Amino acid sequence: MGAINKKGRQTFIFADPPCIISWASIVGPKEGEGPWSDDFDQILPDYLWGEASWEKTESKMLREAAKLALSKQGLQTSDIELMVAGDLLNQITSSNYAAREIAVPFLGLYGACSTMAESLLVAAAMVDGGYCERVLAATSSHHYSAERQYRAPVEQGVQRVPSSQWTATAAGAVILQKGGSGPRLSCATVGKVIDMGQTDAANMGAAMAPAAVDTIKAHFQETGRPHDYYDLVVTGDLAAVGLSVARELFVRVGLVPSPNFSDCGVLLYDGLQDVDSGGSGCGCSACMLTGPFLRKVAGGEMRNILLVSTGALMSPTTTFQKESIPAIAHAVAIENI
């Protein structure tokens, strides 16, 4: 006997699709200068936002995004039964410290930059499974806290290569509920960890592209949906290099998502913002979802989207030990039903 709410090996079908009743986004100054400034709820004036360290700022962004999403529906933190969140920092401290303030039952996740889709997937399963009425899914990333953990001190004069990506300073929070009005999360495909032997931490898009293609392929196969089912199929943070590699891989596996296939890392910044290949980080797909995408779906501008957040699962230690970069991608289908 197979599980009743699953199709194929990886895809969860939600029997009563949970409703996205509210969402909020908070982004940094650079993201606020990009093409979507009108879509974000809040744009920070600077990178510290009155805090003493970038780590504290990142945690505050997650916490405030969650509170903002709640306040839009006149809800209190006590109105949510579960918080599912994760981030990029060691021991997912941004989420842990935000959860300390929000003080509701909490599940911490680590999926690197795939966290937005991963947390939505877990939250939706909790709601549809009847374990919770209302769940908060959130994530955040901060450019400078990520830089100091994964790369070099900020003031050090290092040259970036054209394939490198810019970790977004952004946070997104989504509230899922059983019933209500708003776009619904109809199904989700859990990704497998895929490693194609890439070792270049300055070219993460290339390390993640095979994982994104694998998950998207599985999603269409298992749901049986036609390739042009979604108005937009959007990956998390493959950026320009990863996106062009993914397009090539799609041709090879005989699947071309249409009519629109793009990437949050490509969309988040405009071409003149000096971000090389494009954006990355948990916040990249989180703020694009909670900024423009959900507004467009809720407003009827788009019928549905497939958000495929992508994550590179290495650490600075594994990079120094010359390990290759494993990657993952989770897909969530958001639609007006």
Partner 1 sequence: MGKNPEELLKTAEQEEYHHLVNRMKPKPPLAQNCMWAFVVGGLICVVGQIIMEYFISLGYSRQDAVSLESTSMIFLGALFTGLGIYDNLGAKAGAGSVVPITGFANAIVAPAMEFKREGYIFGVGAKMFSIAGPTLLFGFTASVLIGLAKLIMLYL
Binding site residues, partner 1, CB under 8 A: 52-53, 148, 152-163, 196-198, 203, 206, 210, 241, 244-245, 248-249, 277
Q: How far is the CB of 152 from partner 1 (least distance, A)?
A: 7
Q: How far is the CB of 53 from partner 1 (least distance, A)?
A: 5
Q: Is 6 exposed, middle or buried (0-12, 13-18, 19+ CB in 10 A)?
A: middle
Residue 198 or 285: the one with the smaller Cβ distance to partner 1 is 198
Q: What sign for the dihedral angle of Cα 90, 114, 103, 54?
A: positive
Residue 78 or 90: the one with the smaller Cβ distance to partner 1 is 90
Spatial separation of the C-alpha atoms in residues 303 and 199, rounded to whole Å = 38
Q: How far is the CB of 197 from partner 1 (least distance, A)?
A: 4
271: CB partners within 8 A, 6+ apart: none
Q: How far is the CB of 241 from partner 1 (least distance, A)?
A: 6
Spatial separation of the C-alpha atoms in residues 36 and 213, rounded to whole Å = 26
Contact (Cβ atoms closer than 8 angstroms) between residue 57 and residue 48: yes
Spatial separation of the C-alpha atoms in residues 80 and 22, rounded to whole Å = 12
Query: Residue 188's closest CA among 272, 294, 274, 114?
Result: 114
Q: How far is the CB of 163 from partner 1 (least distance, A)?
A: 5
Residue 76 or 321: the one with the smaller Cβ distance to partner 1 is 321
Decide the pairing of beta strands 165-167 and 11-13.
unpaired
Query: Residue 307's closest CA among 255, 233, 243?
Result: 233
Residue 4 or 252: the one with the smaller Cβ distance to partner 1 is 252
Residue 29 or 224: the one with the smaller Cβ distance to partner 1 is 29
Q: How far is the CB of 238 from partner 1 (least distance, A)?
A: 11
Render 253-322 in DSSP notation, one character per residue. HT----S-EEEHHHHSS-TTS--TTEEESHHHHHHHIIIIIHHHHHTTSSSEEEEEEEEE---HHHHHTT
Residue 72 or 148: the one with the smaller Cβ distance to partner 1 is 148
Q: How far is the CB of 202 from partner 1 (least distance, A)?
A: 10
Residue 162 or 179: the one with the smaller Cβ distance to partner 1 is 162
Residue 11 or 141: the one with the smaller Cβ distance to partner 1 is 141
Contact (Cβ atoms closer than 8 angstroms) between residue 125 and residue 4: no
Query: Quick check: helix, strand or coil at residue 217?
Result: helix
Q: What is the dihedral of CA 125, 129, 126, 263, to 10 degrees?
A: 20
Q: How far is the CB of 245 from partner 1 (least distance, A)?
A: 5
